[in-house]
DNA sequence: AAACGACCCAACCGCTGTTTA
DNA sequence: ATAAACAGCGGTTGGGTCGTT
Protein backbone atom coordinates (compact mmCIF):
# COMPACT_ATOMS: atom_id res chain seq x y z
CA UNK A 1 0.00 0.00 0.00
CA UNK A 2 1.47 3.27 -0.90
CA UNK A 3 1.30 6.50 0.85
CA UNK A 4 -0.91 8.92 -0.96
CA UNK A 5 0.94 11.56 -2.95
CA UNK A 6 1.54 14.75 -1.07
CA UNK A 7 0.01 18.05 -2.06
CA UNK A 8 3.07 19.32 -3.88
CA UNK A 9 3.16 16.31 -6.15
CA UNK A 10 -0.36 16.99 -7.24
CA UNK A 11 0.16 20.68 -7.75
CA UNK A 12 -2.06 21.57 -4.83
CA UNK A 13 -1.74 24.51 -2.49
CA UNK A 14 0.49 24.22 0.53
CA UNK A 15 1.49 26.47 3.35
CA UNK A 16 -0.66 28.88 5.30
CA UNK A 17 -4.37 28.91 4.67
CA UNK A 18 -6.09 31.97 3.29
CA UNK A 19 -9.31 33.38 4.68
CA UNK A 20 -11.07 32.29 1.54
CA UNK A 21 -9.90 28.71 1.90
CA UNK A 22 -10.97 28.72 5.54
CA UNK A 23 -14.39 29.97 4.54
CA UNK A 24 -14.78 27.34 1.85
CA UNK A 25 -13.78 24.55 4.18
CA UNK A 26 -15.92 25.76 7.06
CA UNK A 27 -18.91 26.25 4.85
CA UNK A 28 -18.59 22.83 3.29
CA UNK A 29 -18.25 21.05 6.61
CA UNK A 30 -21.15 22.97 8.10
CA UNK A 31 -23.32 21.80 5.24
CA UNK A 32 -22.05 18.27 4.77
CA UNK A 33 -20.30 17.34 7.98
CA UNK A 34 -16.82 16.02 8.63
CA UNK A 35 -15.36 13.00 6.97
CA UNK A 36 -14.48 11.86 3.47
CA UNK A 37 -11.38 13.98 3.66
CA UNK A 38 -10.11 12.51 0.45
CA UNK A 39 -12.94 13.81 -1.66
CA UNK A 40 -13.74 16.84 0.45
CA UNK A 41 -11.28 19.31 -1.13
CA UNK A 42 -12.63 18.70 -4.60
CA UNK A 43 -16.23 18.92 -3.47
CA UNK A 44 -15.53 22.04 -1.46
CA UNK A 45 -13.66 23.69 -4.30
CA UNK A 46 -10.32 23.65 -2.53
CA UNK A 47 -6.94 23.04 -4.10
CA UNK A 48 -5.68 21.25 -1.02
CA UNK A 49 -5.12 17.65 -0.14
CA UNK A 50 -7.58 16.02 2.22
CA UNK A 51 -4.96 15.65 4.86
CA UNK A 52 -4.32 19.35 4.89
CA UNK A 53 -8.05 20.08 5.11
CA UNK A 54 -8.51 17.70 7.98
CA UNK A 55 -5.63 19.23 9.88
CA UNK A 56 -6.86 22.75 9.31
CA UNK A 57 -10.33 21.86 10.49
CA UNK A 58 -9.23 19.84 13.49
CA UNK A 59 -6.61 22.27 14.73
CA UNK A 60 -8.03 25.61 13.83
CA UNK A 61 -11.49 25.90 12.34
CA UNK A 62 -13.58 23.62 14.53
CA UNK A 63 -16.14 25.75 16.35
CA UNK A 64 -15.46 24.14 19.72
CA UNK A 65 -11.79 25.02 19.75
CA UNK A 66 -10.77 26.93 22.82
CA UNK A 67 -8.37 29.74 22.08
CA UNK A 68 -6.13 31.49 24.50
CA UNK A 69 -3.71 30.58 27.22
CA UNK A 70 -3.58 27.21 28.87
CA UNK A 71 -4.89 27.63 32.39
CA UNK A 72 -2.92 26.38 35.41
CA UNK A 73 -5.54 23.65 35.86
CA UNK A 74 -5.13 22.56 32.27
CA UNK A 75 -1.37 22.66 32.60
CA UNK A 76 -1.53 20.51 35.68
CA UNK A 77 -3.77 18.07 33.91
CA UNK A 78 -1.47 17.89 30.92
CA UNK A 79 1.47 17.13 33.18
CA UNK A 80 -0.41 14.40 34.97
CA UNK A 81 -1.73 12.86 31.82
CA UNK A 82 1.65 13.02 30.16
CA UNK A 83 3.15 11.27 33.12
CA UNK A 84 0.55 8.62 32.67
CA UNK A 85 0.31 8.32 28.91
CA UNK A 86 3.53 9.70 27.52
CA UNK A 87 3.39 11.52 24.22
CA UNK A 88 -0.11 10.36 23.42
CA UNK A 89 -1.21 13.82 22.50
CA UNK A 90 -4.55 12.89 21.06
CA UNK A 91 -5.46 11.01 24.22
CA UNK A 92 -4.36 13.91 26.35
CA UNK A 93 -6.27 16.33 24.14
CA UNK A 94 -9.35 14.20 24.57
CA UNK A 95 -9.21 15.10 28.23
CA UNK A 96 -9.03 18.83 27.61
CA UNK A 97 -12.21 20.05 25.97
CA UNK A 98 -11.51 22.55 23.23
CA UNK A 99 -7.81 21.84 23.08
CA UNK A 100 -6.17 20.08 20.16
CA UNK A 101 -3.44 17.51 20.20
CA UNK A 102 -1.26 19.83 18.17
CA UNK A 103 -1.74 22.65 20.63
CA UNK A 104 -0.93 20.47 23.59
CA UNK A 105 2.06 18.99 21.84
CA UNK A 106 3.36 22.46 21.04
CA UNK A 107 2.70 23.65 24.55
CA UNK A 108 4.49 20.69 25.99
CA UNK A 109 7.51 21.07 23.73
CA UNK A 110 7.82 24.80 24.17
CA UNK A 111 6.87 25.20 27.82
CA UNK A 112 6.29 22.18 29.94
CA UNK A 113 9.19 19.94 29.07
CA UNK A 114 11.61 22.75 29.79
CA UNK A 115 9.77 23.76 32.92
CA UNK A 116 9.78 20.24 34.30
CA UNK A 117 13.40 19.71 33.43
CA UNK A 118 14.24 22.93 35.24
CA UNK A 119 12.43 21.59 38.27
CA UNK A 120 14.50 18.47 38.01
CA UNK A 121 11.55 16.30 37.18
CA UNK A 122 11.86 13.36 34.86
CA UNK A 123 10.37 13.98 31.48
CA UNK A 124 9.27 10.84 29.77
CA UNK A 125 11.05 10.36 26.49
CA UNK A 126 9.11 9.65 23.36
CA UNK A 127 8.36 6.04 22.79
CA UNK A 128 9.83 5.11 19.46
CA UNK A 129 7.26 3.76 17.12
CA UNK A 130 7.64 0.22 16.02
CA UNK A 131 8.84 -0.27 12.52
CA UNK A 132 7.24 -2.89 10.37
CA UNK A 133 4.46 -3.36 12.85
CA UNK A 134 2.18 -6.09 11.68
CA UNK A 135 -1.50 -5.84 12.35
CA UNK A 136 -2.79 -8.52 14.60
CA UNK A 137 -6.20 -9.45 15.84
CA UNK A 138 -5.72 -6.69 18.37
CA UNK A 139 -3.46 -4.41 16.50
CA UNK A 140 -3.95 -1.45 18.76
CA UNK A 141 -2.00 -3.14 21.43
CA UNK A 142 1.32 -1.41 21.34
CA UNK A 143 4.33 -2.66 23.10
CA UNK A 144 6.25 0.17 24.65
CA UNK A 145 9.43 -1.67 25.20
CA UNK A 146 11.35 -4.44 23.66
CA UNK A 147 10.51 -7.17 26.11
CA UNK A 148 6.78 -6.76 25.64
CA UNK A 149 6.08 -6.94 29.34
CA UNK A 150 4.45 -3.55 29.47
CA UNK A 151 1.76 -2.64 27.05
CA UNK A 152 -0.60 0.19 26.56
CA UNK A 153 -3.93 -0.18 24.93
CA UNK A 154 -4.23 2.68 22.51
CA UNK A 155 -7.82 3.42 21.65
CA UNK A 156 -9.05 5.85 19.08
CA UNK A 157 -8.76 9.46 20.17
CA UNK A 158 -12.23 9.62 21.49
CA UNK A 159 -12.95 11.02 24.87
CA UNK A 160 -11.45 8.99 27.60
CA UNK A 161 -13.84 7.34 29.91
CA UNK A 162 -12.26 5.74 32.78
CA UNK A 163 -10.66 5.56 36.15
CA UNK A 164 -7.25 6.40 37.26
CA UNK A 165 -7.60 5.24 40.74
CA UNK A 166 -4.73 3.02 39.81
CA UNK A 167 -2.49 6.05 39.53
CA UNK A 168 -3.36 7.78 42.73
CA UNK A 169 0.11 7.57 44.19
CA UNK A 170 1.79 8.89 41.14
CA UNK A 171 0.55 12.42 41.48
CA UNK A 172 2.85 13.32 44.27
CA UNK A 173 5.89 15.26 43.20
CA UNK A 174 9.06 13.32 43.05
CA UNK A 175 7.30 10.05 43.44
CA UNK A 176 6.58 7.58 40.77
CA UNK A 177 8.98 7.89 37.91
CA UNK A 178 7.46 6.87 34.66
CA UNK A 179 8.89 3.41 35.01
CA UNK A 180 7.35 3.10 38.43
CA UNK A 181 4.04 4.05 36.99
CA UNK A 182 4.26 1.67 34.12
CA UNK A 183 5.20 -1.05 36.50
CA UNK A 184 2.19 -0.18 38.53
CA UNK A 185 0.03 -0.15 35.47
CA UNK A 186 1.24 -3.53 34.50
CA UNK A 187 0.38 -4.93 37.87
CA UNK A 188 -2.87 -6.13 36.36
CA UNK A 189 -5.14 -4.66 38.95
CA UNK A 190 -7.96 -2.24 38.32
CA UNK A 191 -9.64 0.00 40.77
CA UNK A 192 -12.49 -2.40 41.18
CA UNK A 193 -10.07 -5.04 42.26
CA UNK A 194 -10.42 -7.01 39.10
CA UNK A 195 -7.36 -8.20 37.35
CA UNK A 196 -6.56 -7.73 33.73
CA UNK A 197 -3.99 -9.17 31.48
CA UNK A 198 -1.44 -6.44 31.71
CA UNK A 199 -3.02 -3.83 29.50
CA UNK A 200 -3.92 -0.34 30.49
CA UNK A 201 -7.04 0.77 28.75
CA UNK A 202 -7.58 4.50 29.10
CA UNK A 203 -10.86 4.29 27.26
CA UNK A 204 -12.25 2.04 29.89
CA UNK A 205 -10.56 3.33 32.96
CA UNK A 206 -9.80 7.02 32.89
CA UNK A 207 -13.10 8.51 33.84
CA UNK A 208 -14.12 6.88 37.05
CA UNK A 209 -12.67 8.82 39.89
CA UNK A 210 -11.43 11.46 37.52
CA UNK A 211 -12.04 14.35 39.83
CA UNK A 212 -10.41 12.62 42.74
CA UNK A 213 -7.39 11.83 40.71
CA UNK A 214 -7.01 15.10 38.93
CA UNK A 215 -8.14 17.25 41.78
CA UNK A 216 -10.85 19.13 39.94
CA UNK A 217 -13.99 18.42 38.05
CA UNK A 218 -13.79 18.11 34.33
CA UNK A 219 -16.03 20.50 32.48
CA UNK A 220 -17.65 18.41 29.83
C1' DA B 1 16.83 51.51 14.00
C1' DA B 2 19.04 47.33 12.75
C1' DA B 3 20.74 42.81 13.67
C1' DC B 4 20.41 38.78 15.93
C1' DG B 5 18.71 34.92 18.57
C1' DA B 6 14.97 32.59 20.93
C1' DC B 7 10.53 31.22 20.90
C1' DC B 8 5.93 29.95 19.16
C1' DC B 9 2.80 27.54 16.45
C1' DA B 10 0.62 26.24 12.01
C1' DA B 11 1.51 23.06 8.75
C1' DC B 12 3.83 19.21 6.73
C1' DC B 13 5.84 14.48 6.60
C1' DG B 14 6.08 9.80 7.29
C1' DC B 15 4.35 6.32 9.55
C1' DT B 16 0.72 3.05 11.67
C1' DG B 17 -3.99 1.49 12.23
C1' DT B 18 -8.58 0.51 10.32
C1' DT B 19 -11.82 -0.48 6.87
C1' DT B 20 -13.30 -2.41 2.75
C1' DA B 21 -13.40 -4.90 -1.53
C1' DA C 1 -6.30 -13.84 3.53
C1' DT C 2 -4.67 -10.05 1.17
C1' DA C 3 -3.91 -5.53 -0.55
C1' DA C 4 -5.44 -0.96 -1.45
C1' DA C 5 -7.59 3.11 0.22
C1' DC C 6 -8.39 5.98 3.76
C1' DA C 7 -7.98 8.14 8.41
C1' DG C 8 -5.38 9.54 12.15
C1' DC C 9 -1.23 10.15 15.07
C1' DG C 10 3.17 11.99 16.59
C1' DG C 11 7.61 14.08 15.23
C1' DT C 12 9.60 17.75 12.84
C1' DT C 13 10.10 21.97 10.27
C1' DG C 14 10.19 26.68 9.05
C1' DG C 15 8.30 31.26 8.89
C1' DG C 16 6.64 34.87 11.74
C1' DT C 17 7.00 37.38 16.03
C1' DC C 18 9.09 39.13 20.04
C1' DG C 19 12.79 40.44 23.06
C1' DT C 20 17.50 41.71 23.64
C1' DT C 21 21.75 43.83 22.40
pLDDT tens digit sequence for A4-40 = 444 545 578 888 899 899 999 999 998 888 878 888 9
pLDDT at A133 exceeding the cut of 50: no
CATH class of the domain defined by A72-129+136-214: mainly alpha
Nucleotides of C under 7 A from a protein CB: 3-12
Q: Does residue A170 contact residue A176 with C-beta atoms inside 8 Å?
A: yes
Q: Quick one: what percent of chain A has pLDDT higher than 70?
A: 49
pLDDT range class, residue A157, cuts 50, 70, 90: very low
For A100-114, what is the mean pLDDT? 88
CATH class of the domain defined by A13-61: mainly alpha
For A51-59, what is the mean pLDDT? 90
Q: Which residue has the higher pLDDT, A158 or A107?
A: A107
Nucleotides of B under 7 A from a protein CB: 7-19
How many angstroms separate the CA of A215 from the C1' of C7?
Answer: 35
Q: Does residue A25 contact residue A56 with C-beta atoms inside 8 Å?
A: yes
How many angstroms separate the CA of A102 from the C1' of C10?
Answer: 9
Element (H, E) at A27: helix A19-32
- The pLDDT score that the predictor gives to residue A110 is 86
- The pLDDT score that the predictor gives to residue A113 is 80
Residues with CB under 7 A from strand C: A 1-4, 35-39, 50-51, 54, 58, 87-91, 101-102, 105-106, 109, 126-127, 156-157
d(CA A194, CA A84): 20
pLDDT range class, residue A104, cuts 50, 70, 90: very high
CA torsion A199-A200-A202-A203 (nearest 10°) is 20
Q: Phi and psi of A189, rounded to 5°?
A: -120, 135
**Neighbouring C-beta atoms of residue A141, cutoff 10 Å:** 15
Residues with CB under 7 A from strand B: A 1, 3, 6-8, 13-17, 51-52, 55-56, 59-60, 102-103, 105-107, 109-111, 129-133, 135, 139-140, 142, 156
Domains A13-61 and A72-129+136-214 fall in the same CATH topology? yes
Please write the tens of the pLDDT for every residue from A172-188. Answer: 333 333 334 433 333 33
How many angstroms separate the CA of A192 from the C1' of C14?
Answer: 49
What is the residue extent of each domain of chain A? 13-61, 72-129+136-214
d(CA A102, CA A59): 7
**Neighbouring C-beta atoms of residue A70, cutoff 10 Å:** 19
- The pLDDT score that the predictor gives to residue A175 is 37
What is the distance in angstroms between the CA of the first residue and the CA of the last residue of chain A? 39
Q: Which residue has the higher pLDDT, A218 or A24?
A: A24
d(CA A144, CA A48): 35
Amino acid sequence: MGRSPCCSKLGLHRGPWTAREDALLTSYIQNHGEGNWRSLPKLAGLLRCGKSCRLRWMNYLRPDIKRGNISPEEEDLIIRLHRLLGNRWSLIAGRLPGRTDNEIKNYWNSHLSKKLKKQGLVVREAIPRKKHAKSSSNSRMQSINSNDEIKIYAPKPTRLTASIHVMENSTEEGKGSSSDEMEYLSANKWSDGSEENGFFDPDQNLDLGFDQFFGFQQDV
